[in-house]
Structure 1
């Protein structure tokens, strides 16, 4: 039986990685139903931009009551406090977009201030403390910085760094002084379709030597190798075509377009995602698992809409999800999967 499964995986891998530009819906070897465990159903937020989890806490990036960062105990869902004031003073955030946790360091990127803020996370005498350390200012850079992440000495930028103003750019590696590598290719030819790749879902392996991106408009999964001082494309997997037009500065999806990735996180072995695969963008009732070669490993039908998804490398089978319903608003759930 195992040899048959390996043959299926190999065939699908070759099929997904084929050099043509056809779109093929992913075929998962196993499909399951899964029920989550509610950790907290009393989240006082109206919209979440990102979330992260480490060995102790769940961090939610959302503006609520003048603060951006809301922390919960990952084991029992206990609310531990809110931190990082809204504003434009030292350590204050105006327009947060992305969140990353690495050990005792926490990063938040503020798009309006073009700064990547660093905070330390400490738990002394059972009291959680989040303290501002410093920030990296991208204001002197030519171009747009939509999001930025610290990869350890270099910064991965989702934006338009450089003096060249024409043409849509994608990712650059920035060493603090100049762009050392960039990747500006697209897996589509149509100019309007390229707009679907503006600010896709992005996730990194815990080692930060791999990156995966997935489009919401249509479903295109790309994987990248970041192990050297360059951004190298590893694979392109086309699941749903991004049938969009660009009018009055906005993306307009076709009525029959299938939506793709609405949430992503990763371990060194797998990519967890919410893959919609439907013309209804609110069909968020799944957790879809891929390996880094684009193979569909398992798909779980969930009991709730999954709005955000995060995992910790120390417990890779535990997924922390920010769920949403009209009646209850946002809740924090734990899902245990088999990988």
Structure 2
């Protein structure tokens, strides 16, 4: 039997399988609607080394990828035309060694670029960057590494939300305002094997809703969808869906074993829905579909996709999904758009 776990927004104990009881009610997701969308290729032969993150701002698509001239690339979302590049490789002002994430704050037109190698965060004014080619950031800063080592970062009205490794006493999630930690979160979904669940979260995917009120995590080795409430500057559990039990390689290695059912590859969101590239099979190289959930964790729609989507983002009105697509036959990357129905 499929089960959804909820807490009140006051952080009370979870109903159903409580925090003190292991919850093993895993069942694959069942989607009430399925479709095969028509993919439009916006740009062939992207000169990128894969993709590390993707975001949308006004008429522009922003892609983070390693390149000799820069880490952050800008494209017209209508035509696929490349319109700019920023954040050259290096350790100097406005440079990065290894970009792990980009985040856009639509309300004030800011782009935040995180360098996971130096823990540096670059903040850009997007209109100045794209329209006028101003490539130096408005500011550069770092978060206190005693609290968290940022692997991914989001900017919300309540400050900066940083996802860390959750090891060596550092927070799994932490919120910062003016460089001061205002909230931290170290809890993981209930499981019979707590150590395995924690280990599975070392390699997972996460998204924050554009309005900054909620957050979702999706496991890759197994499939668990965890939803958190971020309102009022806090970090609180809200709902958990258990689809496939996590399975990992034994020992210190982070990776699958022969029992692993692969879940989410990437995850993104709008204020209405959570979108995830989803496999639901033991085949590591299986092509993803797009699984859509509401913010209560309920299945809404499944899109069958015949190409591998590396990274993606979605229009705020849930009308179009944009993605970096990999053609597994020839190894070519493309920029594509996919109309949505939900």
TM-score category, normalised to shorter length: 0.7 to 0.9
Instruction: Confirm whether residue 337 of structure 1 aligns to residue 340 of structure 2.
Output: yes
CA distance in 2, matches of 1:179, 1:21: 34
Indicate how the Cα distance of structure 1 residues 52 and 226 shifts in structure 2: closer, same or farther if over 3 A, else same: same
Equivalent runs, 1:199-278 vs 2, <5 Å: 199-247=203-251, 249-278=252-281
Alignment of 1:1-339 (within 5 A): 15-17=3-5, 18-19=16-17, 20-103=23-106, 104-122=109-127, 129-138=134-143, 141-159=146-164, 165-166=168-169, 169-187=171-189, 188=191, 189-247=193-251, 249-313=252-316, 315-326=317-328, 327-339=330-342
Q: Over residues 125-153 of structure 1, what are the superposed CA-to-partner deviations in whole Å (9 max), with x where a residue is unaligned?
A: 96555441112212564553322222235
Choose between structure 1 and 2: higher strand proportion: 1
Give the distance between the partners of 2:120 and 2:130, measured in 1 at CA.
32
- How has the CA–CA distance of structure 1 residues 140 and 25 changed in structure 2, closer, same or farther, with 3 Å as cutoff? closer
Q: Distance in 2 between matches of 1:15 and 1:203?
A: 22
Indicate the SS of the match to 2:338: strand
**For residues 286 and 101 of structure 2, what CA distance do their matches in structure 1 show?**
23
Structure 1 unaligned spans of 5+: 1-11
Matched pairs, number: 322
- Per the normalisation by structure 2, the TM-score is 0.87
Report the secondary structure of 1:192's partner residue: helix
Q: Which runs of 5 or more structure 2 residues have no equivalent in the other structure?
A: 6-15, 18-22
Distance 1:50 1:285 in 2: 17
SS at match of 1:228: helix
Does structure 2 conserve the Cα–Cα contact (< 8 Å) formed by 1:115 and 1:139?
A: no
Which TM-score applies when normalising by structure 1? Answer: 0.88
Alpha-carbon distance between aligned partners in 2 of 1:239 and 1:140, rounded to the nearest angstrom: 34
3-state SS of 1:108 partner: strand
Cα displacement string for residues 197-233 of structure 1 (whole angstroms, at most 9, x for unaligned residues) = 1252111111011111111111111111111121011
Q: CA deviation at 1:328?
A: 4.5
Aligned to 2:20: none
- Structure 2 CA distance for partners of 1:231 and 1:329, relative to 1, 3 Å: same
Q: Give RMSD over aligned pairs.
A: 2.3
